[in-house]
């Protein structure tokens, strides 16, 4: 039996890549468990200025920032708490070129929010993530951070306190998905070869 060279090479490379990504995700799962253990102590660490760059190790750290001007506000679903109201702020200090602030929560899906900006103190959390599943699989956890105000602003209801259990460790699941994709690709290619007579069984060879 002689396999077609180029198709076989491409499938082999694809399968090897997916297996490699699966192993990488397993490594990330162990790293994430260690990170979650660190995050549990973050609320008790001294506060910092809102970071210029994303760093997931800073999740749940107390922080502060100054919102010079509100560019826009948006709402995001927050389950039992209703909707989170998030302000996109222009800044000019240590916060870098911009800062997201979760002002508070509301039951109104279209609230009228008037907040002029100013100094905000709270804790760091992930900003809402609207990436596709594939982007999450490949891109990891390099998500934007957001300052969740400790005191509700603009007449909204209070934000929920920091909850480390809200940080997922999906890397083991991602690894299983990559292994499944690799197995599926190999199986589909084997079946395609069989249908095209690429195996002795498909050719009906007699002895």
Instruction: Please report the pLDDT score of residue 207 as a whole number.
Output: 39
Q: Decide if pLDDT at 201 tops 50.
A: no
Copy the structure tokens of residue 59: 């999740």
Mapping DSSP to helix (H, G, I), strand (E, B) and coil, where does residue 26 land?
helix
E strands, 24-157, in order: 48-49, 62-67, 69-77, 83-90, 98-106, 118-126, 145-149
Buried b (16+ CB within 10 A) or exposed e, 133-150: eeeebeeebebebbbbbb
Tens digits of per-residue pLDDT, 189-200? 999 999 987 444
Tens digits of per-residue pLDDT, 62-109? 999 999 999 999 999 866 778 999 999 998 766 567 899 999 999 998
Copy the structure tokens of residue 198: 């690429």
């Amino acid at each position: 039996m002689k396999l077609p060279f180029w198709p076989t090479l491409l499938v082999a490379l694809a399968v090897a890549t997916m297996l490699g990504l699966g192993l990488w995700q397993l490594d990330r799962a162990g790293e994430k468990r260690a990170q979650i253990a660190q995050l549990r102590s973050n609320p008790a660490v001294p506060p910092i200025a809102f970071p210029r760059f994303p760093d997931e190790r800073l999740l749940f750290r107390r922080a502060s920032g100054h919102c010079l001007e509100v560019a826009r506000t948006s709402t995001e679903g927050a389950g039992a708490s209703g909707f989170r109201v998030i302000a996109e702020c222009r800044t000019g200090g240590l916060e870098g070129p911009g800062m997201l602030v979760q002002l508070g929560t509301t039951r109104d899906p279209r609230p009228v929010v008037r907040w002029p900006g100013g100094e905000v103190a709270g804790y760091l959390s992930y900003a809402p993530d609207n990436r596709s599943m594939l982007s999450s699989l490949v891109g990891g956890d390099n998500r934007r951070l957001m300052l969740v105000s400790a005191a509700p602003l603009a007449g909204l209801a209070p934000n929920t306190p920091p909850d480390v259990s809200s940080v997922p460790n999906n890397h083991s699941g991602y690894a299983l998905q990559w292994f499944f994709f690799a197995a599926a690709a190999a199986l589909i290619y084997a079946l395609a070869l069989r249908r095209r007579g690429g195996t002795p069984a498909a050719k009906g060879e007699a002895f």
